[in-house]
């Protein structure tokens, strides 16, 4: 079983290798990845580490949460499934006038 742990508040100078080395002592670490912005090529300030077991991941979370890495305090949170968004009825931007014509609230000039 693979266990993914998100890491936030990383320094812009943190590399995959730095992240791997910081988390390797807590168990069998499979991967460490810093997320990079495609446009700028710079770190987005967060990343992920993947452990082989839940026990190793829990040790890493306890050992590295709120600790310094490359001069910044990092936060290690357990991954959670994404919550579904509540369904909302579609908004109606149109109103019916007394004459039976429908008008919308769009403001602007077209033509």
Domains of the chain (ranges; CATH) run 3-76 (3.30.70.330)
pLDDT of residue 91 exceeding 90, the answer is no
Cβ neighbours of residue 9 under 8 Å, at least 6 residues apart?
45, 46, 72, 73, 74, 75
pLDDT of residue 82 exceeding 80, the answer is no
pLDDT at 96: 54
Question: Which residue bears the tokens 């007394």?
Answer: 98
Look up the pTM and report it.
0.69
Sheet holding 72-76, edge to edge: 29-36, 43-51, 3-8, 72-76, 67-69
pLDDT band of 73, cuts 50, 70, 90: very high
Determine the average pLDDT of the residues in 97-110. 60
pLDDT band of 86, cuts 50, 70, 90: confident
């Amino acid at each position: 079983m693979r266990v993914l742990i998100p890491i936030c508040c990383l320094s812009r100078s943190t590399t995959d290798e730095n992240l791997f080395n910081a988390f390797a002592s807590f168990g069998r670490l499979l991967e460490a990845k810093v997320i990079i912005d495609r446009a700028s090529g710079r770190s987005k300030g967060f990343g992920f580490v993947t452990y082989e077991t839940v026990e190793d991941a829990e040790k890493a979370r306890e050992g590295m949460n709120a600790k310094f890495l490359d001069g910044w305090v990092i936060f290690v949170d357990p991954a959670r499934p994404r919550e579904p968004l509540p369904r909302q009825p579609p908004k109606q931007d149109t109103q019916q006038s007394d004459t039976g014509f429908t008008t919308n609230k769009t403001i602007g000039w077209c033509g």
